[in-house]
Amino acid sequence: MEQNYDICVIGLGYVGLPLAVALSKKYYVSGIDTDANRISCLENGIDNTNEFEPHEIENALKSGLKLSSIYLRRDKPTVFIVTVPTPVSEEKLPDLQIMHSACSSIGQLIKKGDIVVFESTVYPGATREEFIPIIENVSHLIGGKDFYFGYSPERINPSDKLHKIQNIVKVVSGCSPRSLAVISEIYSKIVEAGIYQAESVEVAEAAKVIENTQRDINIAFMNEVSLILHALNINTKQVLKAASTKWNFLQFNPGLVGGHCIGVDPYYIIHKSKEHGYYPALISTGRKTNESMGNFVVLQLLKCAEIKNISLQNKPVLILGATFKPDCPDLRNSKVEEICDELNKVNVKTFIFDPVAYERKLGKHTINNKLTAALDTFSAVILAVPHLRLVEFVDEEFSNGKHAKIFFDLYSACRCNNHFEL
């Protein structure tokens, strides 16, 4: 059924690269990323997302994976798989510019009989309403007749060594029975966990966007519980430990919600809901709660400093960790930036130390990969992202309150005594 397709994976980040590597074991695969530096690094075996070791990249290149920063026309029937970012704007509205650009490029290359599969997270209806018309206008072909399309939501969890592409059930959809069959067969070659065929493209789109929205709401509830319990001077961790003894209590914890999925995807469903006259109060409130947690940390730090009669203006605050999640180099939508911004507003200087982050800037703030100052020179320390290396560092350097009069371990990740946790 699948015929002899070539595969073109567009976007080689956390989602596209693992997909391209896996598919290259079964197909001729070309990987496209408009970031020429990304292509250069990969060609030298360097993956700055830390998903692959150098030898794994080298083996994929030897097995037939071809990389390029420009789109190349292919003579054989081709399946284009789009895995580019779909962020939100400063106004928290869907930003589809990168996707639109990718669709325009596909429109210049696509031939009759080709297939386009979108994996990037979008709102229900985006594939049919936004993306296919662009390809049609550029190519002068008709989607569903001259070429085919589908949607198969990505479920990659960055830096997760357990849940890899091969052992995560793959949801697929197509615009026709034939396209659904082809798309299913292609993914089945690399996904051992199985294929789930959604009834429509829109069902698959909606399934993806609510997966992360559900998690966002659950974390928001725990964050609100944390806010309440802090006001009541009750330890949140102890309360959750007691509550979790009930068999059906859901295991979620408070925390800073950032990244390119959980902190973004709810805005897509909020936007689409509003377009159709419905205001999603619960989802919107959950987002508001999670967006407020960086400011809450700063307020608690200022409160703690006042109680201890410590001036935060005299020495900088040490921020340990800058990425959006532990042991992941990705900085997108990190709440650490907000913490630093809020501290700077009240004339508190910050020093960010993160040995994992693959970039050295977080907004206007510099990220240091080495700790160049003595620990006693900091007025306070915040373990904001519990990278394993940072947890080990803290356990060694800050045991029994050594070095820091104010120490915040936001996730209770360390053995040492701490003054504050979410």
Instruction: Show which residues are catalytic.
Output: 261
Locus of tokens 């936004």: 130
Distance CA 292, CA 45 (A): 40
Whether 317 contacts 382, CB under 8 Å = yes
Where do runs of H (alpha helix) occur along 158-250?
177-188, 201-231, 236-243
Whether 126 contacts 90, CB under 8 Å = no
Contacts of 306 (CB under 8 A, 6+ apart): none
DSSP string, 52-68: S-HHHHHHHHHHTEEEE
Pairing state of beta strands 407-409 and 380-383? parallel
And the tokens for 153? Answer: 């939501």
The torsion angles phi and psi of 346, rounded to 5 degrees, stand at -105, 25
Please provide the size of the chain in residues: 422
Element (DSSP H or E) covering residue 16: helix 16-23
Where do runs of H (alpha helix) occur along 129-200?
132-139, 177-188
Distance CA 116, CA 230 (A): 50
Pairing state of beta strands 361-362 and 365-368? antiparallel
**Pick from 166, 59, 40, 174: which is nearest to 117 by CA?**
174
Amino acid of residue 200: S
Where do runs of H (alpha helix) occur along 64-115?
97-109
Amino acid of residue 78: T
And the tokens for 93? Answer: 């509205």
Amino acid of residue 353: F
Element (DSSP H or E) covering residue 38: helix 36-43
Residue 385 CB neighbour total at 10 angstroms: 28
